[in-house]
Amino acid sequence: MKHARSTCVNALGLCLLVLASATAQAETLLKAQRSITWKDFLGVNVQFHEFPQDIYQKQMTRLDDLGLNWVRWGLRWPMLEPVQGQYNLAELDAAMAAALPHHLNTVAYLAGSAPFDSTAPQGASNTDQYPPRDNSLFAERMTALAQHYPQVSHWQVWNEPNIAWLPQADPAAYYELLTTTAKAIRSALPGKPVVTAGVAYYGQIRGSTSYMLQSMVDQGLADQNIIAAYHPYSDYPEGDSPGDRDFLKRAKGLNRTLHEAGIKEVWATEWGWSSYTGPSELQPVIGPEGQADYSLRRLALMSTQDYQRIFLFNLSDLDQRASARERSYGLLDLNAEPKPVYNALKNFLQVTGPTLAPADLPPPLAVPEDLYAIAWNRPDGSHLLMAWSASSAHMVFPGIKKADLYDPLSGNHTPLADARGIDVALSPSLQILAWSR
Distance CA 259, CA 257 (A): 6
Is pLDDT at 344 greater than 70 in this prediction? Answer: yes
pTM of the full predicted structure? 0.93
Domain annotation covers residue 286: yes
Written as one string, the DSSP assignment of 81-117 is -SBTTB---HHHHHHHHHHGGGT-EEEEEEES--GGG
pLDDT at 210: 86
> Residues 308, 370: one domain?
no
Is pLDDT at 333 greater than 50 in this prediction? Answer: yes
Domain with 421 in it: 356-435
Q: How many structural domains are present in the chain? A: 2
> Residues 152, 267: one domain?
yes
**What are 149-180's pLDDT values in tens digits?**
999 999 999 999 999 999 999 999 999 999 99
Domain annotation covers residue 147: yes
pLDDT at 434: 98
Kindly state the percentage of the chain with pLDDT values over 90. 89
Amino acid identity, residue 329?
Y
> Among residues 330, 354, 378, which one ends one of the domains?
354
Domain annotation covers residue 16: yes
Across the range 24-52, mean pLDDT stands at 91
**What are 351-391's pLDDT values in tens digits?**
999 999 999 999 998 999 899 999 999 999 999 999 999 99
**What are 217-261's pLDDT values in tens digits?**
999 999 999 999 999 999 999 999 888 899 999 999 999 999 999
> Residues 252, 312: one domain?
yes
Distances (CA, A) of 329 to 41, 278, 374: 20, 13, 26
> Residues 230, 261: one domain?
yes
Query: What CATH number is associated with residue 190?
Result: 3.20.20.80
Q: Biggest alpha carbon distance in the chain?
A: 77
Query: What CATH number is associated with residue 375?
Result: 2.60.40.1180
> Among residues 306, 326, 354, which one ends one of the domains?
354
Contact 280, 324 (CB under 8 A): no
Confidence tier at 265 by pLDDT (50, 70, 90): very high
Residue positions counted in the chain: 437
Which ranges constitute the DSSP H helices of 303-387? 340-352
Distance CA 308, CA 227 (A): 10
